[in-house]
Amino acid sequence: MLAKDNWKVYTYGLENAEELEKIKNVQITTLEEAIKPVEFVVSGIPFTSNGVYVNSPFSKKKITVNEVIKQANGKCFIAGGIDQKIRDKSNQENVKIIDILKREEFTILNTISTAEGAIQIAMEETSRTLHGSKILILGFGRIGKILAKMLSGIGAKVYCEARKNEDFAWIKAYGYELIQLNKIKNSLHQFDVIINTIPSLILTKEYLKKINMECIIIDVASLPGGVDKEFAKQIGIRVISALSLPGKVAPVTSAEIIKETIYNILEEMKN
Amino acid sequence: MLAKDNWKVYTYGLENAEELEKIKNVQITTLEEAIKPVEFVVSGIPFTSNGVYVNSPFSKKKITVNEVIKQANGKCFIAGGIDQKIRDKSNQENVKIIDILKREEFTILNTISTAEGAIQIAMEETSRTLHGSKILILGFGRIGKILAKMLSGIGAKVYCEARKNEDFAWIKAYGYELIQLNKIKNSLHQFDVIINTIPSLILTKEYLKKINMECIIIDVASLPGGVDKEFAKQIGIRVISALSLPGKVAPVTSAEIIKETIYNILEEMKN
Amino acid sequence: MLAKDNWKVYTYGLENAEELEKIKNVQITTLEEAIKPVEFVVSGIPFTSNGVYVNSPFSKKKITVNEVIKQANGKCFIAGGIDQKIRDKSNQENVKIIDILKREEFTILNTISTAEGAIQIAMEETSRTLHGSKILILGFGRIGKILAKMLSGIGAKVYCEARKNEDFAWIKAYGYELIQLNKIKNSLHQFDVIINTIPSLILTKEYLKKINMECIIIDVASLPGGVDKEFAKQIGIRVISALSLPGKVAPVTSAEIIKETIYNILEEMKN
Amino acid sequence: MLAKDNWKVYTYGLENAEELEKIKNVQITTLEEAIKPVEFVVSGIPFTSNGVYVNSPFSKKKITVNEVIKQANGKCFIAGGIDQKIRDKSNQENVKIIDILKREEFTILNTISTAEGAIQIAMEETSRTLHGSKILILGFGRIGKILAKMLSGIGAKVYCEARKNEDFAWIKAYGYELIQLNKIKNSLHQFDVIINTIPSLILTKEYLKKINMECIIIDVASLPGGVDKEFAKQIGIRVISALSLPGKVAPVTSAEIIKETIYNILEEMKN
């Protein structure tokens, strides 16, 4: 995409992505030669899973975090999920680190993909239409807001759980049904689908017992998620853990979002 | 569902649907014993595929149309897709025939499932979010209207093709983009998804050549559909024939719609 | 507007619309000189109120229907609300009559203005926000459909009354609350606003008694409307007759709709 | 409303609101007698306009801030727009002050009324339908968000101006058109209505010159607002200052919001 926009792109560690060879403006080369001529170095999201090696699913090489940071001396380095240790090292090497996962616009645009992915799963896993179904969304943060809008847009009956007076007001303003967490127990039986977005245990044994056996739970919160999955399994309630949806259900859109965020970063650095 | 609503239900030809045995109010019996005590006889949609045998996927028996109609003498008989020959026979046997496929409310409610099924397929088959995608709907009949509403509800950019000034006005009133069929050629390249609802050849060779190679076409129109599928394959454009979506993607909702339609029929016969 | 689109426009009977003098392409002249050079003659909506004189609010002259039709010999004549007597006369004079009020697209586009006008009145006449108010729409024809969409779009709780199974299905598909006319009595007390679109007496004494005293009724149906206005007044319920809304609340949009309809007519006559 | 909910209500300074006399649970009395038996004292929004006298439009008496605060000793006191000087005084008198204007849920619910009021004004002041009109909203805070939702719900073409990447993402997620402030100049000519929500000068001379003469500007931002009103007047562009809309267009809803906020406060004080 960057090459198509007429940037000169140097790559390293993508040798298995064979279609790259045919693209104009793309140069496949060594780490050193790739970084030397550029101003910006872009790597994966997440950058590394173990702190030692760079995530490089399109390469058989083992690329270490240390060698990348060292080569990036004096450059701006953009990747996702960069911990304090790597930041410290980057400071030493005079590398300007930008963690894309901390960019608000990236997170918001990604929630669109997450919400749509959760809706796709709900469509696939239920034997009813979402239109007309009663769907409870746990949590009214970014994902909860977009999910509510989309689900209500295809005709589901949307119930939003929240805990703050401020969120109650927004839920009313947007026209969804409000369910306060402390009164949720008595209404749990009515839902066809429950989507959890809260990254802490919310659907405990006590709550799971109240849920309709036909209901499915989709948990999009990061691990360990918000559902007592073991107990749910025990009593026969289906729980689907849906993580990293953007890359799975809409990889092209994900790439576009990353590209747009990079452009925002470039724009800001010019000013 | 009928049994749950406290109707007394007699069944024949469903012996492979084992869960029926355990349901209160359901009696599994012979054809004769099943029909004798009842006022209404309900059969499949479609009732028969070849004019000779009744569709009975949950039975190993061969049940003939003739024996069913004969037994139904004096009763009201509800099924789907009943041709003139069976109607004539029914008249002779004094059977009051009601073709559920001719009921407007049944058709409308079914289009919700069809539309949602088409959206599910579009989500599964594309590598972008529908949100933000440009989607063309060919035909502004029942399915076209519901599709437009749902797709726009999840944030797609919806373009509706139509040919009548009257439809142009509704499309404007509902806030979609209008594309007139005679001007469609020059705008076909921009779409990410095209959904056809028109049951006659509309995407000819000439039009297919204008379509973006990344675009997918979903054809929900009844056979032979509206796309020159052979040519599309030849030039590498993906076409997905999506038929009988309601039963596939939302069987429970489909059954509920049939039930509601039956209740409407009962209500009307009382008056 | 036509002159701005570069048509040559001749006018007669608009001498009080002074701004016309300054517009390029507009010629103010006599009836005879105005009609002679043109292919299309456009007059008012309605064309005449009494069958004798043409409606001409921007003129002090008395213009008769007869002289206009006579002059229009051999031309195409577009106006609104043309009765059989005038049609017969036109046939004699070889005038091709087109009644714009019979054009479906004109009617649909006009309902947008009517619906928006009714919403404006509801906003002005109530001391609550429409957002969150319970609003009943009587009739699910063109105006009912657009009203439901718009009111639900600004966050009102929309209830639609209908009488046909087919309409019930559309109401469900679009996600509004359904109220069947024969069950309406017990739910009438809950509404903040009732908008009637049915041109026959529907809110009788019996029904009016059930309505909340704070409720206002807006009647957009053509006279005599659907409300027993005398009885409503007697018991203190506010009824607002809202007729000819498009011209009142959005005259420019109304003119644009007429222009677009004329263009559609021109287009059709070419083919 | 509080009396209807079965609270015992004592009033002072409302003697011109004659209907109060007839309401059960309401006692009209002196300041001292009104405050002595209660736990909560509720006054106006704003509490005072000049720091000396309490706002009391339903009374001919002059009530001083000082006497009210003094009487409220040991009580909880709820009103709007309370400045630091009054807070200090309240601390001395052991009065627990709650400024309702600082409650987030109050502000959000009020923006619904503000947005609806702005829409009503736009409907009244334009000669087109909002449906189909191009409307620019300046500022994407609370009011901007609700306005965009409502206007798009009745079919307007909504353009949102914003300045932060984060807001750009939300605008995209919600499906509105984005206009960045630094690129706004070249697109200003196309709008039928501009609604400003930003409380600082944004529509300067330079920008106003670019605006279409038919366009109307509605300024809902608190004084001095965001428009160079003098220059606008000079060049003939209509600007409508729309302040305190909730109380004007929907006083009953406003009262309900205040009541709900008070109940939230009571709930929180119990915990």
Beta carbons of A149 and D104 less than 8 Å apart: no
**Percent of chain C whose pLDDT exceeds 70:** 100
Sheet holding D157-162, edge to edge: D177-180, D157-162, D134-138, D193-196, D216-219, D238-241
Residues of D in contact with A149 (CB under 8 A): 173-174
pLDDT digits (tens, 9 = 90+) for A96-136: 999 999 999 999 999 999 999 999 999 999 999 999 999 99
Half-sphere exposure of C241 (CA within 13 A, CB side): 13
Quick one: three-class SS letters along C135-168?
EEEECCCHHHHHHHHHHHHCCCEEEEEECCHHHH
Taking a contact as any Cβ pair under 8 Å apart, which residues of chain B between 213 and 232 contact chain C? none
Number of domains in chain C: 2
Residue B32: exposed, middle, or buried by beta-carbon count in 10 A (0-12, 13-18, 19+)?
exposed
> Would you say C153 and D150 are in contact if contact means Cβ atoms under 8 Å apart?
yes
Report the gap between the CA of C124 and the closest CA in chain D (Å). Answer: 7
- Whether B90 and B204 share a structural domain: no
Beta carbons of D150 and C152 less than 8 Å apart: no
- The pLDDT score that the predictor gives to residue B271 is 75
Residue B159: exposed, middle, or buried by beta-carbon count in 10 A (0-12, 13-18, 19+)?
buried
Q: What is the mean pLDDT of residues C119-141?
A: 97
Residue A183 has pLDDT above 90, yes or no: no
Specify if A136 maps to a domain: yes
Residue ranges making up the domain that contains D213: 106-247
**Mean pLDDT value across chain B:** 94
Matching residue, tokens 């009571």: D266
**Amino acid in position B42:** V
- Whether B174 and B63 share a structural domain: no
Taking a contact as any Cβ pair under 8 Å apart, which residues of chain B between 166 and 195 contact chain C? 166, 168-170, 172-174
> Would you say B149 and B174 are in contact if contact means Cβ atoms under 8 Å apart?
yes
- Whether B122 and B181 share a structural domain: yes
- The pLDDT score that the predictor gives to residue C129 is 97
User: What number of residues does chain D have?
Assistant: 271
All residue ranges of chain D with pLDDT < 70 are: none
Answer whether D126 touches C (CB < 8 Å). Answer: yes
- Whether A146 and A94 share a structural domain: no
Specify if D266 maps to a domain: no
Q: What is the mean pLDDT of residues C109-121?
A: 96
Q: What is the mean pLDDT of residues B137-160?
A: 97
Number of residue pairs across A and B with CB atoms under 8 Å?
75
Q: What is the mean pLDDT of residues A162-171?
A: 93
Specify if D258 maps to a domain: no
Opening angle at CA A60, ends A59 and A65, nearest 5? 70
Boundary (domain end) residue, out of B74, B100, B126? B100
- Whether B132 and B96 share a structural domain: no
- Whether D122 and D234 share a structural domain: yes
ipTM topping 0.85: yes
Answer whether A132 touches C (CB < 8 Å). Answer: yes
Half-sphere exposure of B220 (CA within 13 A, CB side): 29
List, in sequence order, the alpha helices (H) in A27-174. Answer: 31-35, 65-71, 84-92, 104-125, 142-153, 165-174
Residue B268 has pLDDT above 80, yes or no: yes
Specify if D253 maps to a domain: no
Specify if D49 maps to a domain: yes
- Whether D171 and D243 share a structural domain: yes
Minimum CA–CA partner of D116 in chain C: C129
- The pLDDT score that the predictor gives to residue C270 is 79
Boundary (domain end) residue, out of A100, A123, A140? A100
Work out the pLDDT band at C149, boundaries 50, 70, 90: very high
- Whether B119 and B242 share a structural domain: yes
**Mean pLDDT value across chain C:** 94
For residue D253, give the nearest of C120, C128, C252 by CB distance. C128
- The pLDDT score that the predictor gives to residue A221 is 95
Minimum CA–CA partner of B174 in chain D: D155
Give me D270's structure tokens.
């119990």
Residue C271 has pLDDT above 90, yes or no: no
pLDDT digits (tens, 9 = 90+) for B167-211: 999 999 999 999 998 889 899 999 999 999 999 999 999 999 999
Q: Could you say which DSSP state residue D33 is in?
A: H
- Whether C96 and C134 share a structural domain: no
Q: What is the mean pLDDT of residues A2-29?
A: 93
- The pLDDT score that the predictor gives to residue B58 is 93
Give me B90's structure tokens.
């029914």
Residues of A in contact with D169 (CB under 8 A): 104-106, 108-109
- The pLDDT score that the predictor gives to residue A52 is 94
Specify if C222 maps to a domain: yes
- The pLDDT score that the predictor gives to residue B261 is 94
- The pLDDT score that the predictor gives to residue B182 is 84
pLDDT digits (tens, 9 = 90+) for B217-226: 999 998 889 9
Mutation site for C-interface testing, chosen from D126, D131, D146 by largest number of C Cβ within 10 Å:
D131
Specify if A163 maps to a domain: yes
pLDDT digits (tens, 9 = 90+) for B244-266: 899 899 999 999 999 999 999 99
Residues of A in contact with B149 (CB under 8 A): 155
Any bridge partners for residue D195, and if so which? D137, D218
**Percent of chain A whose pLDDT exceeds 70:** 100
Boundary (domain end) residue, out of A100, A133, A162? A100
Quick one: three-class SS letters along B4-23?
CCCCCEEECCCCCCHHHHHC
Specify if A264 maps to a domain: no
Beta carbons of A155 and C173 less than 8 Å apart: yes
- Whether A60 and A182 share a structural domain: no
CATH number at residue D203: 3.40.50.720
pLDDT digits (tens, 9 = 90+) for A205-250: 999 999 999 999 999 998 889 999 999 999 999 999 999 899 899 9
**Amino acid in position A136:** L
- The pLDDT score that the predictor gives to residue A84 is 94
- Whether A61 and A24 share a structural domain: yes
Residues of C in contact with D153 (CB under 8 A): 150, 152-155
Beta carbons of C108 and B173 less than 8 Å apart: yes
- Whether B137 and B220 share a structural domain: yes
Opening angle at CA B197, ends B193 and B199, nearest 5? 130
Q: What distance in Å separates the CA atoms of residue B100 and residue B117, rounded to the nearest whole number? A: 21
Matching residue, tokens 């009593």: A235
**E-assigned strand segments in chain D:** 9-11, 26-28, 40-42, 76-79, 96-99, 134-138, 157-162, 177-180, 193-196, 216-219, 238-241
